[in-house]
Amino acid sequence: MKKIIFALLVACTLFGYDVIMDKSFTKEVIPSKQSVRVNITLKDTTLNGVLKKLEKYKKYMDSLKNVNIKSNGFHTLPNYRYQNNKRLKVGYKGFSNYTVSSDRQKNLEIFIDKLAKDKNTGEISLSSMQWSLSDKKKEQAIDELKIDAIKWAKKYEKILSKELNSQCKLEEINLIQNRGISIMRVSKTLNSNLPFSKKEKKQIKIKSKLKYECE
């Protein structure tokens, strides 16, 4: 479904007048990819030990199949505990973050179930589960909207000429992309019953600025 919104401005010139319009085109697209952020916390008594655990876990994540895994980096911090109102250093904590995605929800469910059952990977939490569009599908939708905008602008040239009893010609068309897409998010501590967000249509929108010269 496509929606069209426009505003109109008339500017007079010496030999005629310009008609300037702002117009929006919207297209609803079904999202094609689901993703979730995986946050890992590992502990060890030494910095070298926690770095080795982080590296081992990265290799484990890289070995997983049927999902796309992107590492968002890692960092370490000293780990403390309090005893008799004193802070005692007991080792280090390592934190790593991954974005895991798939165009098949079943693959993501299997991946999450594996993490939930693995007792040797430290503390794991999931956040920002969402449906989104692949770059290819997003660009395809934007290209279609651009073509719709150009076709509409050329067709409106004749309509405007008739309504104003003038000879109007399309002089400029500027297209502005609005890539904002609404998403559903859910944040929850890891378990095998994590709720999956529904796949709902998302909106992609472009704005056009049109200038017609009439005389």
Res 188 pLDDT > 50 = no
Q: What is the per-residue pLDDT for 196?
A: 60
Paired residues of 180 in beta bridges: none
**Residue-level pLDDT at 79:** 92
Q: Which of 28-32, 103-107, 186-190 has the lowest mean pLDDT?
A: 186-190
Q: In the predicted model, what is the mean pLDDT of residues 53-77?
A: 89
- As a whole-number percent, the residues of the chain with pLDDT over 90 amount to 33
Quickly state the pLDDT bin for 1 (edges 50, 70, 90).
very low
Report the alpha-carbon angle 154-158-159, nearest 5.
105
Confidence check: pLDDT of 129 > 60: yes
CB 92 within 8 A of CB 49: yes
The arithmetic mean of pLDDT across residues 30-35, rounded, is 84
Does pLDDT of 70 surpass 60?
Answer: yes
The strands making up 86-102's β-sheet, listed across from edge to edge, are: 68-83, 86-102, 33-44, 123-132, 188-189
Please list the residues that pair with 23 across neighbouring strands: 6, 208
Q: What is the pLDDT of residue 121?
A: 65
Q: What is the pLDDT of residue 64?
A: 83
Domains of the chain by residue range: 2-30+135-184+201-214, 33-132
Q: Give the mean model confidence (pLDDT) for residues 118-126.
A: 75
pLDDT, average across residues 73-98: 91
- CA-CA distance, 24 to 7, in Å (whole number)? 9
Cα separation, 203 vs 215, in Å, equals 38
- Letter for the amino acid at 122? G
Which CATH number does the domain 33-132 belong to among 3.90.25.10, 3.40.50.150, 3.40.50.1000, 3.30.70.2970? 3.30.70.2970
User: What pLDDT does 187 receive?
Assistant: 35
Query: What mean pLDDT do residues 129-139 have?
Result: 81
